[in-house]
Amino acid sequence: MTPADTATPTAARSRYRDGLVVPSTGHAPGFTQANLVVLPRDWAYDMLLFGQRNPRPVPLLDVTDAGSYRTVLAPDADLRTDLPKYRVWRDGELVDEPADVTGLWRDDLVSFLIGCSFSFETALLEAGVPVRNLEQGRNVSMYRTSVDCRPAGRLAGPLVVSMRPIPAALVPAAVQVTGRMPQVHGAPVHVGDPASLGIDALDRPDFGDPVEFAPGDVPVFWACGVTPQAALMGSRPPFAITHAPGHMFVTDVPDQEYRQL
Amino acid sequence: MTPADTATPTAARSRYRDGLVVPSTGHAPGFTQANLVVLPRDWAYDMLLFGQRNPRPVPLLDVTDAGSYRTVLAPDADLRTDLPKYRVWRDGELVDEPADVTGLWRDDLVSFLIGCSFSFETALLEAGVPVRNLEQGRNVSMYRTSVDCRPAGRLAGPLVVSMRPIPAALVPAAVQVTGRMPQVHGAPVHVGDPASLGIDALDRPDFGDPVEFAPGDVPVFWACGVTPQAALMGSRPPFAITHAPGHMFVTDVPDQEYRQL
């Protein structure tokens, strides 16, 4: 694979459609990547309300019409084929990880495209803030917290946060840069005190990998897109499709679009 | 009525509950006032999706559980009694303007509380930007535009905008001040050219009153909370309740809460 293969959103989606199964990190740099959650129409109202009530962990970038596999975030894309890998869930259990879900599509399915912290990691790097998980080639550390989301219908669950070690002198910059991007989780929800979120051990994340601190780094916590998946799977809808972790939907929307001036 | 009667959100709502029927402008200064739209659960998904797809004209501050008349925006309030005046709609026709809707409440009703430009008018005044409609004691001028909202289910319609004449030198300040308040319509959608929005005559608004320009004023257009009502009434739901124009829901939320730093 040459870099040119996945340098643009159209090229990256075309490669995935043709069978490339890899995490989308670093592909189509400068363009927003999104989490995908697909649910039957019967469950879509609860999900939409959960997003309205919990915008920090669930920033809804687009919600499709029932049955449609098209999104305004990338008008030429096909949501059934253009992600590198999917997860299929039945009654809350993971049953398959296919690279194509065309055969599973139904005309009552509603797709939710949800903002992702990849967008703000780019902005942090551009502002001179190191992103330790990228430096260390690891997935970001994520934790269930003792903070409950506001429930919506059948959906309820804890706020899940991602944590990044940030040099103390750069914490203000990290807050300001991400605070200007509310549609991709926005400003941190907490800085410096894991215990007040009910997190016992930073080196034992609930999801993702442990990430090493450099001397003088402070733990900074952002609302995380795993939150809706955790609530959803806990409530066991009969059928759902999501992206596989790290295998995101690459949109045509420049990251800049979600930065407030 | 003494000013003290309506100086706080609790006092204002108490007076309305006891029968005071007046516009809420100027009451509980410094606290956010909201538009109200109440719909049967069967229509709530379309409305919620319409808000998700059109956040500038339809900034959803809260959406209640079906049947509930409580909102997180004012936990002690009763949405059935605590607005100064309501409108009741059947099949898209206005049928009544009561001061209390307790007798009409049903356990399938969902309430939408929607941000209102009263909040940003306060912010404009504080920034030294004159608000001509307030100076002239008139309702703001509002216009249907040639710009379509993104449809959602049965809801479709044009973007409705409010217009304020702003001194040319203060247009940048007006953009910046309101741009920091995306939950109450945010930055203007257009500055200076009514024709490009399909507006023929500024002195003949579709809703509200004509407002006089001072020499050097430029017309500035913001997305308007009348947009969802226009779409809704055009689609003729069997039953709906809204606030009466200008008779808003006074929340406990300080305006400051919706200003980004």
Residues B90-126 pLDDT 10s = 998 999 999 999 999 999 999 999 998 888 888 899 9
Residues A196-221 pLDDT 10s = 999 999 999 998 899 999 999 999 99
**What's the CA gap between A209 and A232, in Å, rounded?**
22
CB contact under 8 A, A72 and B179: no
Which residue of chain A comes nearest to B53, CA vs CA?
Answer: A62
Looking at the structure of chain A, the number of domains it has is 2
3-state secondary structure B146-185: EEECCCECCECCEEEEEEEEEEHHHHHHHHHHHHCCHHHC
Residues A140, A105 within the same domain: no
* B60 at interface of A, judged by CB pairs closer than 8 A: yes
Confirm whether A193 is domain-assigned. yes
**What's the CA gap between A250 and A83, in Å, rounded?**
8
**Which residues, listed in sequence order, are joined to residue A240 by a DSSP beta bridge?**
A89
Which residue of chain B comes nearest to A41, CA vs CA?
Answer: B45
Confirm whether A158 is domain-assigned. yes
Tell me how long chain B is: 261
Residues A206, A243 within the same domain: no
> Helix, strand or coil for residue A235?
helix
Residues A40, A67 within the same domain: yes
A34-43, A101-110, A115-124: range with lowest mean pLDDT: A115-124
Confirm whether A261 is domain-assigned. no
CB contact under 8 A, A179 and B48: no
Confirm whether A248 is domain-assigned. yes
Residues A239, A204 within the same domain: no
Residues B166, B68 within the same domain: no
From chain B, the residues in CB contact with A179 under 8 A are 260-261
CA dihedral A51, A55, A57, A61 (to 10 degrees): 70
Residues B192, B244 within the same domain: no
Minimal CA separation from B215 to chain A, in Å: 30
**What's the CA gap between B236 and B240, in Å, rounded?**
9
* A150 at interface of B, judged by CB pairs closer than 8 A: yes
Confirm whether A106 is domain-assigned. yes
Predicted local confidence at residue B257, as pLDDT: 87
Residue B155: other Cβ atoms inside 10 A = 24
Predicted local confidence at residue A258, as pLDDT: 84
Looking at the predicted structure, is the pLDDT value of residue A2 above 80? no
Predicted local confidence at residue A122, as pLDDT: 87
The per-residue pLDDT of chain A, averaged, comes to 93
CA proximity to A174, closest of A186, A162, A183, A184: A186
Q: Is A233 left (phi over 0), alpha (psi -120 to 50) or beta?
A: alpha
Confirm whether A66 is domain-assigned. yes
What confidence tier does A254 reach under pLDDT thresholds 50, 70, 90? very high
Which residue range forms the structural domain that includes residue A31?
Answer: 3-116+235-256
Residues B199, B212 within the same domain: yes
Give whole-number Cα distances, B224 to A155, B86, B162, B202, B231, in Å.
Answer: 31, 19, 6, 16, 12
Output the domain CATH number for residue B254.
3.40.1640.10
Residues B92, B139 within the same domain: no
Q: What is the block-wise mean pLDDT of chain B (261 residues), using blocks of 10 residues?
A: 76 96 89 95 96 95 96 97 96 94 97 91 92 90 95 94 95 93 91 94 93 96 91 90 92 88 59
In chain A, beta strands by DSSP E: 31-40, 60-63, 86-90, 93-96, 109-115, 141-148, 158-167, 190-191, 217-223, 239-243, 249-254
Confirm whether A170 is domain-assigned. yes
| Structure-token match 């959650």, residue found | A37
Residues A127-176 pLDDT 10s = 999 999 989 988 889 999 999 999 999 999 999 999 999 999 999 999 99
**What's the CA gap between B253 and B119, in Å, rounded?**
11
Please, which residues 74-113 of chain A have a Cβ atom closer than 8 Å to chain B? none
- The residue ranking higher by pLDDT, A98 or A230, is A98
Residues A147, A197 within the same domain: yes
CB contact under 8 A, B60 and A51: no
Work out the average pLDDT over A4-16: 92
* B48 at interface of A, judged by CB pairs closer than 8 A: yes
A48, A182, A260: residue with CB nearest B49: A48
Confirm whether A176 is domain-assigned. yes
From chain A, the residues in CB contact with B51 under 8 A are 52
Residues A239, A111 within the same domain: yes
Output the domain CATH number for residue A217.
3.30.2040.10
Work out the average pLDDT over A231-245: 90
Give whole-number Cα distances, A209 to A132, A164, A246, B35, in Å.
Answer: 12, 11, 13, 45
ipTM: 0.80
Work out the average pLDDT over A58-64: 96
Q: How many helices (H) and strands (E) does chain A have?
A: 6, 11
Residues B83, B46 within the same domain: yes
Residues B104, B177 within the same domain: no
